[in-house]
């Protein structure tokens, strides 16, 4: 594995790979890697000739008072994990490399961004689609891999690629979970022992809610989710059931849906979701 820190070198490598006819798989991350990231790498290695991973904590997607400065970072550990998992090129630029000056142009997420996490984080997904536009232009991937845990992000990236006609194909990979069902996340390290024991209830409540939706509708499903997690120390940020990937209020004719939730604990905000279909029953 080689580590690249400059845009110029990464673009030169990309150009050479394209001239050789190599298919590039891309895994964009903010680092502090875990098994969820490794599952994306595994898919890329299976489907690509060369796997590029980026590690870049993007300041544009953190709002005022959010955790940019304390976002977990361990680049030495990340390099080791990336190499062991099969990453060929690690792109690890500093902020000034991607944003040498105040951006004169940014990208805005117009739809799919004002619900779920986006409802309480205005501008967050604008930062996501801006940095991904930059990275797609630098890396020129044939396929780009995203985790289903960040389902709203995956839906917005799908819209970004279709709207701006990027040539990369978006591959969404199933959420990787702990044995008790908790979704793998870089922020899980901030849970205390009691919170860690309680956190898997989010996933269980989502599964129950999706089943209740099919039988009894949205209002009852949301009510039962709230009841299921009411005993947790965490504070419910949202529970929502929407169409997927459009992220709109479902109608009777809509069959592919997402049940998504966010819960705030003392030092960590956890998100999770289940995508389900009403046509299976």
Q: Over the chain (281 residues), what is each successive 10-residue block's mean pLDDT? A: 98 98 97 92 98 96 78 92 97 96 92 93 93 98 96 96 97 94 90 96 96 95 95 93 96 94 94 89 41
Give the pLDDT score at 68.
80
Contact 161, 172 (CB under 8 A): no
What is the helix (H) or strand (E) element at residue 43, kind and residue range?
helix 35-47
Buried b vs exposed e over 232-260: b needs ≥16 C-beta within 10 Å?
Answer: bebeebebbbbbbbebeebeeeeeebbbb
Return the closest-CA partner of residue 22 out of 63, 52, 42, 2: 52
Known binding positions for beta-alanine: 61
What is the helix (H) or strand (E) element at residue 38, kind and residue range?
helix 35-47
Known binding positions for ATP: 30-37, 147-150, 176, 184-187
What is the helix (H) or strand (E) element at residue 52, kind and residue range?
strand 50-55
- Beta-sheet pairing, 24-29 with 50-55: parallel
Which class for 281: exposed (0-12), middle (13-18), buried (19 or more C-beta within 10 A)?
A: exposed
Return the closest-CA partner of residue 151 out of 197, 118, 108: 118
Predicted TM-score (pTM) of the model is 0.89
Give the pLDDT score at 2.
98
State the residue for tokens 């190499």.
83
* 37 included as an active-site residue: yes
Give the pLDDT score at 280.
52
Known binding positions for (R)-pantoate: 61, 153
- Architecture field, domain 186-274: 2-Layer Sandwich (3.30)
Give the pLDDT score at 71.
82
Give the pLDDT score at 121.
86
Known binding positions: 30-37, 61, 147-150, 153, 176, 184-187
Cβ count within 10 A of residue 154: 21
Residue limits of CATH 3.40.50.620 in the chain: 2-173
Active-site choice (37, 124, 228, 255): 37
CATH of 2-173, one of 3.40.720.10, 2.40.30.20, 3.90.600.10, 3.40.50.620: 3.40.50.620
């Amino acid at each position: 594995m080689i580590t690249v820190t400059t845009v110029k070198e990464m673009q030169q490598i990309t150009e050479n790979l394209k001239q050789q006819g190599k298919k590039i798989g891309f895994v964009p991350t903010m680092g502090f890697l875990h098994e969820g990231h490794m599952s994306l790498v595994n898919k890329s290695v299976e489907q690509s000739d060369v796997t590029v991973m980026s590690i870049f904590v993007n300041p544009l997607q953190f709002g005022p008072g959010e955790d940019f400065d304390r976002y977990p970072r361990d680049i030495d550990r990340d390099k080791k994990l990336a190499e062991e998992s099969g990453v060929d090129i690690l792109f690890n630029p500093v902020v000034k490399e991607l944003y040498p000056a105040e951006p004169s142009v940014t990208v805005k997420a117009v739809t799919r961004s004002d619900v779920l996490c986006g409802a309480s984080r205005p501008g967050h997904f604008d930062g996501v689609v801006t940095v991904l536009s930059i990275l797609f232009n630098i890396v020129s991937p044939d396929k780009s891999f995203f985790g289903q845990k960040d389902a709203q992000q995956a839906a917005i990236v799908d819209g970004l690629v279709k709207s701006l006609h990027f040539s990369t194909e978006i591959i969404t990979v199933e959420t990787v979970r702990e044995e008790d069902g908790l979704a793998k996340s870089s922020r899980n390290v901030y849970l205390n022992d009691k919170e860690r024991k309680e956190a898997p209830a989010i996933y269980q409540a989502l599964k129950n809610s999706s089943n209740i939706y099919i039988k009894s509708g949205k209002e009852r499903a949301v009510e039962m989710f709230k009841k299921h997690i009411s005993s947790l120390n965490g504070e419910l940020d949202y529970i929502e059931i929407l169409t997927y990937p459009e992220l709109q209020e479902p109608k009777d004719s809509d069959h592919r849906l997402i049940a998504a939730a966010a819960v705030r604990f003392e030092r960590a905000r956890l998100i999770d979701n289940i995508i389900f279909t009403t046509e299976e029953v």
